[in-house]
Amino acid sequence: MSLHAPIQELSLDQIDMSLSDLRIMRPADLDQMRRSLEHHGQLQPIVVRQQEATYQLLDGFKRCHCSEKLGWSSLRGIVLDVTLCQGVAMILKYNRAGKGLEDYDQALIIYSLRHDHALDQAGISQLTGYSRSWVCRRLALIEKLSEPVQDALRMGLISNTHARSIVKLPRGNQQVITEIITRHQLSSRDTALLVDKFLSSKSHKEQVYVLSHPMDIIDNAYRSKDIFDARLSSKGNQVLRSMELLMLQLNIFIGQMHPLRLSETEKRILRPRLGPLEQRTTQVLSLMNQNPLL
């Protein structure tokens, strides 16, 4: 196969996007690509493999999707003479640079090589150039994550760093943790703490408590250990500690406010406190804008 094929003008009608299932096109990324195409045109050629009467797309899924929406009729592309299996592996190659693929996107490709093309982990490692341990970790994101968790990943409700913690859990508990993450807007660090606490629970009763009182568990975990970074001065660590505790309280507040089920009497009692809270929030934002480090 030649990696230095000449660039050709390819009609969008001839481009086969059947491998798009191996890529997740997130709305924010599509919007960014659309704006780039509108303002700058096509900056990079797409990459396809030759088929009988069409060209199967290997790289440039967002470009193709957005160019169709913009009413374009063609894109510049490089046509490679490779097998389907090689083409799937090359999707990883063309996304090594820059932001590249998220862990779950990579997992979809590795899973396809394993189950659609009957390659073992050693074969996938040799074909892609990644280590066997890397291949094993990516396969785990598909094979060990429950479908609801994978759906949350596809929709962007949770991140790949969340998934790395969730995958440690039994599949039966993964959806509950995922719902806790989205409801309380947990950070990846908060999620790791919660998962570790669940896995270290010595009884089913303790596990139930962890899932029923997640913010209490995280709060106690932060308060029971010293938040410290050796790279920071004493003043820097004070700021770090305050930031961590503030973020924790914000997570708790967000979780309690959504959804909010209070009586009218309770709302009347709490409503006057919203003014000072809003003022403090504005003050925090002002300090962040004034601080050149942030």
173-194 pLDDT, tens digit each: 999 999 999 998 898 888 998 9
As a whole number of angstroms, the distance between CA 149 and CA 191 comes to: 14
pLDDT of residue 96: 65
Position 226 confidence tier, pLDDT thresholds 50, 70, 90 = low
- Give, in words, the CATH class of 1-82: alpha beta
Q: Which residue has the tokens 């003008």?
A: 9
pLDDT digits 0-9 by tens, 230-262 = 788 878 877 887 887 787 777 777 766 766 677
Distance (Å) of CA 175 to CA 150, 185, 188, 211:
10, 15, 16, 11
pLDDT for 98 equals 45
87-92 mean pLDDT? 91
Q: What percent of the chain shows pLDDT beyond 90?
A: 47
Residue 102: the pLDDT is 77
* 147-161 average pLDDT score: 87
User: Is the pLDDT at 225 greater than 80, yes or no?
Assistant: no
- Does the structure show a pLDDT above 80 at 95? no
CB 214 within 8 A of CB 194: yes
Rounded distance between C-alpha atoms, residue 78 and residue 2, angstroms: 10
Ramachandran angles phi, psi of 245, nearest 5°: -70, -35
Helix or strand run (H / E) with residue 91: helix 84-93
The mean per-residue pLDDT over the stretch 264-273 comes to: 86
Report how far apart, in Å, the C-alpha atoms of 85 and of each of 15, 51, 117, 247 are. 18, 13, 7, 46
Q: What does the pLDDT read at residue 1?
A: 44
Given this model, what pLDDT does residue 221 score?
Answer: 76
Place of tokens 């990644």: 130
Task: State residue 237's pLDDT score.
Answer: 77
- Closest Cα to residue 190, out of 162, 229, 231, 213? 162
pLDDT at residue number 293:
66
Is the confidence at residue 63, as pLDDT, over 90? yes
List the beta bridge partners of residue 10: 75
Q: Model confidence at 274, in pLDDT bands (50, 70, 90)?
A: confident
For the chain, the structural domain boundaries read 1-82, 171-261, 265-294
